Structure 1
Amino acid sequence: MDFQYMPVLRYREQERIAYGNSNFDSRITPLFEVITEKQRSTDTIDKLIRETSGKDNVIIDIPIYVPIKPNTQPSVTSFLNPMKANDSLRTQFFLDQRLVNQGTFIPTVSYDPQVPFSSSKIKEQIQELRKKYTTLAFRCHYKHNSPFLSLVESYSNEGDILIFDLDEANYRHSKFEEVHKRVTSTSQKKGLKSVLLRSTIPKDLTNTELENDEIVDKIDNSHLKKYSEYNYSAFGDYAGVKKDELTKGGVISPGYLFYSWESNSFYGYKGNFKSANSFTTILLPEILKSKPWKEFTDSHKNSCYGCSSITAIDQGTKKGNSQPSWKGFAASHYLKTLEEFLK
């Protein structure tokens, strides 16, 4: 595998739509985080297989790093809590014969950085998965990185993928220097694909903070162009959307983050707090006259699901007051842009 970019997509409706409207080539390999047992009434594994049919090299993970809170979505809690409590359940999920038979899925060996680290459990997971999968991904967090990387050094095979997941942390910080070196040197010695993964949009960024047609200074997307300077062979992010904590409810707060390749930045747009109608009365006209809208060609706007949806809303052929839908538009535009411009 010689990919440059690994978008991390939560396996839920809007990210699935963005993925389904993308056309990844060998430069892009997605990682799907499975967060629920079912997608509406359909088994997640069945739907995942159907929606990735014909695709090569799809990485899958169960994000046990996600904190479970009282307001976490019930479907997420019911799926992740048992996975957090019992490592063998995660292994059993990946060893489901439907996934194994496809020959395209790459399971991820990962851990919860907020609980005590168990080398024996990770070792057991690697050994069980290796019986059915030639290629594995390893997801390393800063916390417990040393014992985890020791296991990678001992049990990884050529062609495996080693991901250093920084969450929202600044990859330039000096405290990460030695980990960067160990991850990349291990990858070079063992023939692994190394990936620098960051969530670039802060969780505490609110739509009410955004200023129309202004770059959002709190978003640092620079690792997209700097990862190779740290000797990584690829980079990853959350496909131009916020890595939320999967909680339920919340108040309608219209907003949109529009990615610009020219500046490698996100421009912000906002409507009126608690007013869903302002997606179309305020956000839409602001976006259509914006700097990034003018940056992209008609060819991009016509072939990009996100941009063509915005055009359809403007023309009255598509409804435009759904907050999740606008998140999907942003992800689709980001993915389409990287498809076009990555070299």
Structure 2
Amino acid sequence: MYLPIMKNRSEELRVISNMNQFFGDSMIPLIEIIKDEYDIKYKKDEETGEYIYEKKPGNKRRNRITLPPTEDDVITLEKIQERLNGKKGFIDFFRFSEEEYDNKDFKGIELSFMLSRDYTYYKKRLLQLGNFSNLCPVISIKKGFKISEHDLKNLLNELKERNPSIAIRITDSYLEDYMEFIEENLLEEDFIMLDIRNQHVDSKFIELEEFQELETNATKIVLNSPRPKDYKNGDYENLEFTKKIDNKVAIKYKDYELEGFGDFGGLKDDLPTEAGGNGTGAALGLLYVKEKNAFYSIVNYDTSEGMRGFEYVRSEVLKRLDFLDSDNDCVAVERIKGMDQTFGNWATWSNLTLTRYIHQQAKK
């Protein structure tokens, strides 16, 4: 089983919509909810019920007045269910500690900020998953977010009343603390996910052996974030398989007799930031090749070209179709071929990296 881990940012949500045909029992996305989506509502005249319009300075046309969103307008889970198109998804209402990520402005992740500071609200949002039969709740335990066994038992029982299965995601440093609880409370239909974060899988052999020996009928999965957060695009090699992303977890999980693994599909485990760039930067393409279990790296080191540098990345992809798309069926390569006057931006190529990775894992 493979779990592509994605935050509910626009490009990752787009990947879910476009790639849901590959999801099933052997591939289930793990979606980290960092922000809410809202049903947009507009101001109406109380007497006539008609929309009220306004014309802002500099605009020629009048527009309807948008009402501020409320808790009742949240449609986050409905939209995710729609994108999954009937397929199953794990839902992790994402909490984080301030030292966990470099992003400090918290813009665009106000929901995560609230979830991280209010356990009652976190529990409330998890319990909402009982309204969605194909969305499996994930209880996350990590540094700064331990849950007492008493509270965990209560939460587990409440979730099990309305959900056919639940998952516990736990970082390796806390596995020993909860082993007895897991063995006593998780059932065959449940999932236990050991998250080793960005640590190399070989460095966690003791924890993985403990995980292997865990006496539970729940499905065991190891999660990893093999792409380092501190490497910039220009740090990657050009026209070779990068050594900076060691994807060994995709193979090693079998050595520990685990049922599956999860990772970020070639993306970094980071949070969005409002720190805007100046239009410059190295254009990078990372295309996973399953036979090598490695990412082929293409970099335009001329940072002054910025997004224009992706024209070079595209051209180098097309020169290597013999091994990047030997079966002529890659969804990502098909999109790259279709690029004409514009060659995408950083978000586009992040989408392509994830799309390619999911398609490669779905093959064979």
Contact in 1 for aligned 2:6/2:29 (Cα 8 Å):
yes
Q: TM-score, normalised by structure 1?
A: 0.86
Task: Quote how far apart the aligned CAs of 1:149 are.
Answer: 2.6
Larger radius of gyration: 2
Compute the displacement of 1:100 (Å): 2.2
Alpha carbons 2:93, 2:126 under 8 Å: kept: no
Please say if residues 165 and 198 of structure 1, whose CA atoms lie closer than 8 Å, have aligned partners that are also in contact.
yes
- SS of alignment partner, residue 258 of structure 2: coil
Contact 1:106 1:133 in 2 (8 A): yes
Partner of 1:267: 296
Q: In the TM superposition, what whole-angstrom CA distance separates every residue of 1:38-86 from its partner, at most 9, and x where no partner exists?
A: 279573122112112321x31110221364666344120x211221122
1:206 aligned onto 2:232: yes
Preserved contact between residue 310 and residue 345 of structure 2 (Cα < 8 Å): no
Alignment root-mean-square deviation, CA = 2.3
Q: What residue in structure 2 maps to residue 158 of structure 1?
A: 188
Aligned to 2:113, what secondary structure does the other structure show? helix
- Name the structure, 1 or 2, with higher relative contact order (CA <8 Å, separation 6+): 1
Which residue does the alignment assign to 1:20? 17
Query: Who is 1:320 aligned against?
Result: 343
Does 2:6 match 1:9?
yes
Runs (4+) of structure 1 moved beyond 6 Å? none
Q: 2:85 aligns with which of 49, 53, 67?
A: 53
Mark the runs of 5 or more structure 1 residues left unpaired by the alignment.
none
Q: Is the CA contact 1:91–1:129 (under 8 Å) kept in the aligned structure 2?
A: no
How many residues align? The count is 323
1:89 to 1:293, Cα distance in 2 relative to 1, 3 A = farther
Q: In structure 1, what is the Cα distance between the partners aligned to 2:294 and 2:27? A: 20
Give the Cα–Cα distance (whole angstroms) in 2 for the partners of residues 151 and 90 of structure 1. 21
Distance 1:70 1:278 in 2: 27
**Counterparts of 1:132 and 1:266 in 2: how far apart (Å)?**
41
How much has 1:235 moved relative to structure 2? 0.9
Show the 5 A alignment for 1:81-160: 81-96=113-128, 99-114=129-144, 118-160=148-190
Deviation at 1:26, TM superposition (A): 2.3
Between the two proteins, what is the percent identity of the paired residues? 21
Describe the shift of the 1:70–1:267 C-alpha distance in structure 2 as closer, same or farther (beyond 3 A).
closer
Confirm or deny that 1:181 pairs with 2:209.
yes
Conservation of the 8 A alpha-carbon contact between 2:200 and 2:226: no
Distance 2:79 2:145 in 1: 31
In the TM superposition, residue 206 of structure 1 has moved relative to its aligned partner by: 1.2
Distance 1:224 1:166, change over 3 A: same
Contact 1:276 1:321 in 2 (8 A): no
Shift of 1:16: 1.6
CA distance in 2 between counterparts of 1:146 and 1:183 reads 9
The corresponding residue for 2:60 is none
